[in-house]
Amino acid sequence: MNAKVKKAETGFRERFEMLDGVILAFLLVLAAIIVIPFVNVIATSFASQKEASESALLLVPRQPTIDNYYRLFQDPRILIGYKTTALILLLGVPINLILTTSLAYGLTRINFPGAKFLFFAVLLTMLFNGGIVPMYLLMMQLGLTKSIWSVILAYGVNTFYFIVMRTYMTTLPESLIESAKIDGASELQVLFRIILPLSKPIIATILLFYAVDRWNEWFNAMVFLRRNDLIPLQLVLRTIVMDSTIVNSLSISGPRVPRFTEGIQTAAIIVTMLPIMLVFPFLQKYFLKGIMIGAIKA
């Protein structure tokens, strides 16, 4: 075992060619193109206006300050943003999961009257959808515009995630289910005692899929809500960035406009991005699994 590893290592060193160097250098440049903007945004958010305007490439602020964050949180919209997004996440994700899991298990085997038709009706929505116009009118007619429920209910089941989950469930051994049924277990008992425990990895994956989608939601909220006390964080960020861009281009300097707009903008970006950064290690592990299962299907 040990000898093998050693052999592989020396083998590698012997064969380290020009090409390896070129490829690695090229990939490092690509990685830098992705990483440097993030580093610059983080650095700007902790920098003073003076330092940001004086340095050609700000990567580490010499005198870090939390002034930008202090001023950002004076904007009441940030707290409204966190509250609204938390509400969407906490109400939305459980609904997403319950709808998707029960539907995926219910349609795992197409062996009851009408099942084929129902399965096809679900898949058809991937090809044909009404889009935002009738959805908006529907929400108006249901009296849900201006309510958080419009955003929550507009995104119920993601058909792609449904397929991923269903595909996983079809791979579970049918003999387990059959024997449980012979023992007199009901369909719900089978779901809770056998299917759900065995489906933990895929449920975790889909949970993360939905949580990220919910965190990143902004369009439905922009169209349906239109309330100053109910704005998801993404939309708050958008408003802050767009506002200051307009202010910059028009050179307006009113008393309420903070001077170092880039500082506030970048702080807002960090505040919106931070949760995704924190869960990214888990995301990577589970998402890779998810896309592999999806890839086998698609």
Nearer to another protein, 148 or 283 (CB): 283
Give me the DSSP letters along 234-289: HHHHHHHHHHHHHHHHHT---TTS-S-HHHHHHHHHHHHHHHHHHHHHHHHHHHHH
Q: Closest approach of Cβ 79 to another protein, in Å?
A: 18
Record the tokens describing residue 196, joined without a space: 């759900």
Q: Closest approach of Cβ 74 to another protein, in Å?
A: 19
**Among the listed residues 137, 154, 149, 155, the one whose alpha carbon sits nearest the alpha carbon of residue 230:** 149
Nearer to another protein, 82 or 119 (CB): 119
Taking CB under 8 A as the rule, which mask of x and - marks residues 131-160 in contact with another protein? xxxxxxxx--x-----------xx-xx---
Beta strands in 90-147 (DSSP E): none
Q: Closest approach of Cβ 255 to another protein, in Å?
A: 22
Hey, which residues between 182 and 211 contact another protein (CB under 8 A)?
A: 186-188, 191
Among 2, 63, 113, 200, binds another protein (CB under 8 A): 113
Hey, which residues between 219 and 248 contact another protein (CB under 8 A)?
A: 219, 223, 234-235, 237-238, 241, 245, 248
Q: Is 10 in the site for another protein (CB under 8 A)?
A: no
Nearer to another protein, 60 or 124 (CB): 124
CA distance 37 to 51: 17
Taking CB under 8 A as the rule, which mask of x and - marks residues 47-66 in contact with another protein? ------x-xxxx--------
Nearer to another protein, 82 or 218 (CB): 218
Hey, which residues between 63 and 92 contact another protein (CB under 8 A)?
A: none
Window of 40-48, 70-78, 81-89, 197-205 that interacts with another protein by CB under 8 A: 40-48
CA angle 279, 283, 285 (to 5 degrees): 125
Among 5, 29, 33, 250, binds another protein (CB under 8 A): 33
- Helix axis angle for 76-106 and 200-215, nearest 10°, is 150
One-letter amino acid at 236 equals V
CA distance 81 to 216: 12
CA distance 139 to 149: 9
**Among the listed residues 197, 176, 177, the one whose alpha carbon sits nearest the alpha carbon of residue 187:** 177
Q: Closest approach of Cβ 50 to another protein, in Å?
A: 13
Q: Is 125 in the site for another protein (CB under 8 A)?
A: yes
**Among the listed residues 239, 232, 203, 240, the one whose alpha carbon sits nearest the alpha carbon of residue 216:** 232
